[in-house]
Structure 1
Amino acid sequence: MAKERLNEKVSKPFKVASIQFNAILNERDKNVTELLKLTEEAFKAGAKLVVAPEMSTTGYYYADRKSIEPFVDTIPGKTTNAFAKLAKQYDAYVVFGMPEVDQESDLYYNSAALVGPEGYIGKYRKTQMWESEMHWAAWGDLGVPVYDTKIGKIAINICMDSAYYETARLAGINGADILAFPTNSSAQAISALPARAMQNGMYVVSSNRSNTENGFHMIGGSAIWSPEGHKLAEAPVVMTEKEDIDEPTTIYAQIDPKQFNNKNKEALQERRPELYKELMQTVAPWDYTKNTTSHEIVATAVQYEPVIGNKELNKTKIISLIKQAKQENPKLNLVVLPELSLTGPVNKLTEKEINNLSEDPNGDSTQFITALAKELNISIVYGFIEKDNKNLYNSAQLISNDGKIAGKYQKTHLSTSDKKWATAGSSLPVFETENLGKIGILLGEDAMYPEASGVLAVKRADMIAIPSAWNGQYGGKMEINKVMSVNKYPENSMVIWDAVAIGAQAYTVVANYVGTEDNYLGGSSLYTLDPLYGLDQPVVASSNKEEAVTVTFETIQADAWFNQEMLILSRQPAYFKPLILE
Structure 2
Amino acid sequence: MSTNSPFKVASIQFNPKINRRNTNISSLIKLIQEAAENGAKLIVTPEMATTGYHYLDRSTISPYVDTIPGFTTAKLSQIAKEYQTYIVIGMAEYDMTSGLYYNSAALVGPEGYIGKYRKIHQWVIENYWSCWGDLGCSVFETELGNISMIICQDSTYFESARLAAVNGADILCFPTNSSGSSISLLQHWAEINGLYVISANRSNTEEDFHMVGLSAVWSPKGEKLAESPYSDIEDESKDNPQILYAEVDPSLYVNSAKERILERRIETYKELMLFLGPWDYTKNTTSRHIHAASIQYEPIIGDKDANLKKVKELIYDQVKDDINLIVLPELTLVGPLETSKQNDIAPYSETDDGPSVFEMKKLAEEIKTYLVFGFVEKSGVKFYNTAVLISPDGEVIGKHRKIHLNNWDESWATPGYQISVTPVDGFGRVGMMIGYDATFPEVAGVLAVKRADLICIPSSWSGEYGTDISMNQKIFPKPYPNGAITTWDAVAKGSQSYTIVANFVGTKRHYKGRSGIYNLDQNYLNDQTVIASENQEEVLMNDFKTMKTDWWLDQERLILTRRTDYYKTLVTSFPPII
Q: State TM-score, norm by structure 1.
A: 0.97
Q: Which residue in the other structure is 2:442 paired with? A: 451
State whether structure 2 residue 277 is matched by structure 1 residue 268.
Answer: no
Assess if the C-alpha contact under 8 Å between 2:171 and 2:198 holds in 1: yes
CA distance in 1 between counterparts of 2:332 and 2:505 reads 13
Q: Which residue in the other structure is 2:97 paired with? A: 104
2:284 partner SS: coil
Given candidates 353, 357, 362, the residue that maps to 2:348 is 357
CA distance in 1 between counterparts of 2:398 and 2:68 reads 52
Q: Which residue in the other structure is 1:3 paired with? A: none
Q: Which residue in the other structure is 1:4 paired with? A: none
Letter in 1 for 2:80: A
| Closer/same/farther in 2, CA of residues 58 and 299 from structure 1, 3 Å limit | same
Q: Which moved more, 1:352-361 or 1:306-315?
A: 352-361
1:54 partner SS: coil
Given candidates 445, 448, 458, the residue that maps to 1:467 is 458
Report Cα offsets for 1:36-79 as digits up to 9, x if no partner: 11111111111100001000001111111111011000000000
Unmatched 5+ stretches in structure 2: 574-578
Report Cα offsets for 1:452-487 as digits up to 9, x if no partner: 000000000011000110111111111101212111
| Closer/same/farther in 2, CA of residues 412 and 239 from structure 1, 3 Å limit | farther
State whether structure 2 residue 526 is matched by structure 1 residue 547.
Answer: no
CA apart distance, 1:325: 3.1
Given candidates 127, 144, 158, the residue that maps to 1:165 is 158
CA distance in 1 between counterparts of 2:288 and 2:341 reads 43
| Number of equivalent positions | 573
| Closer/same/farther in 2, CA of residues 273 and 243 from structure 1, 3 Å limit | farther
Assess if the C-alpha contact under 8 Å between 2:336 and 2:408 holds in 1: no
CA distance in 1 between counterparts of 2:161 and 2:341 reads 40
Q: Which moved more, 1:516-525 or 1:441-450?
A: 516-525
CA distance in 2 between counterparts of 1:507 and 1:50 reads 37
CA apart distance, 1:515: 1.1
State whether structure 2 residue 384 is matched by structure 1 residue 415.
Answer: no
Q: Which residue in the other structure is 1:128 paired with? A: 121
Q: Which residue in the other structure is 1:333 paired with? A: 324
CA apart distance, 1:555: 1.3
Assess if the C-alpha contact under 8 Å between 1:340 and 1:384 holds in 2: yes
CA apart distance, 1:533: 5.6
CA apart distance, 1:12: 0.5
1:372 partner SS: helix
CA apart distance, 1:316: 1.1
| Closer/same/farther in 2, CA of residues 73 and 485 from structure 1, 3 Å limit | same
CA apart distance, 1:349: 7.6
Assess if the C-alpha contact under 8 Å between 1:476 and 1:496 holds in 2: yes
CA distance in 2 between counterparts of 1:300 and 1:170 reads 35
Q: Which residue in the other structure is 1:245 paired with? A: 238
Q: Which residue in the other structure is 2:571 paired with? A: 580
Q: Which residue in the other structure is 1:305 paired with? A: 298
State whether structure 2 residue 351 is matched by structure 1 residue 373.
Answer: no
Where does 1:216-227 land on structure 2 (aligned, <5 Å)?
Answer: 216-227=209-220
The RMSD of aligned alpha carbons is: 1.1
Q: Which residue in the other structure is 1:27 paired with? A: 20
Where does 1:470-509 land on structure 2 (aligned, <5 Å)?
Answer: 470-509=461-500
Q: Which residue in the other structure is 2:576 paired with? A: none
Q: State TM-score, norm by structure 2.
A: 0.98
CA distance in 1 between counterparts of 2:238 and 2:80 reads 28
Letter in 1 for 2:351: D
Assess if the C-alpha contact under 8 Å between 1:306 and 1:516 holds in 2: no
CA apart distance, 1:139: 0.1
Q: Which residue in the other structure is 1:88 paired with? A: 81
CA apart distance, 1:224: 0.3
Assess if the C-alpha contact under 8 Å between 1:485 and 1:533 holds in 2: no
CA distance in 2 between counterparts of 1:511 and 1:471 reads 12
Assess if the C-alpha contact under 8 Å between 2:173 and 2:198 holds in 1: yes
Letter in 1 for 2:401: Q
Assess if the C-alpha contact under 8 Å between 1:199 and 1:264 holds in 2: yes
Letter in 1 for 2:146: K
Unmatched 5+ stretches in structure 1: 1-7
CA apart distance, 1:518: 2.2
2:26 partner SS: helix
2:62 partner SS: helix
Given candidates 396, 399, 421, the residue that maps to 2:390 is 399
Given candidates 554, 560, 563, the residue that maps to 1:563 is 554
Assess if the C-alpha contact under 8 Å between 1:431 and 1:438 holds in 2: yes
